[in-house]
Amino acid sequence: MSLDPYRCTVPAEWIDYNGHMSEAFYVLGFGDATTSVMNALGLDEGYRRSSACSLYTVEAHVRYLREASLAEELEITTCIVAAGPKKLHLAHEMRRGSELIATEEILGLHVDQGTGATMPFPADVLAHIAAHEHRTPDWSGRSITA
- Convert the pLDDT of each residue in 81-105 to its tens digit: 999 999 999 999 999 999 999 999 9
Four-CA torsion 74, 59, 56, 32, nearest 10 degrees: -10
Q: Computed over its alpha carbons, how large is the radius of gyration of the chain?
A: 16
In this prediction the pTM is 0.95
* pLDDT at residue 80, as a whole number: 98
* pLDDT at residue 120, as a whole number: 98
Q: What are 24-43's pLDDT values in tens digits?
A: 999 999 999 999 999 999 99
* pLDDT at residue 1, as a whole number: 86
The domain spans of the chain are 6-131
If DSSP codes are grouped into helix, strand and coil, which group holds residue 45?
helix
For residue 16, give the nearest of 70, 90, 92 by alpha carbon.
70
Reported confidence tier of residue 23, pLDDT bands at 50, 70, 90: very high
Reported confidence tier of residue 137, pLDDT bands at 50, 70, 90: very high
Q: What is the CATH number of domain 6-131?
A: 3.10.129.10
* pLDDT at residue 143, as a whole number: 87
* pLDDT at residue 79, as a whole number: 97
Q: Report residue 106: phi and psi, to 5°.
A: -130, 150
Average pLDDT over residues 33-54: 98
* pLDDT of 133 strictly over 80: yes
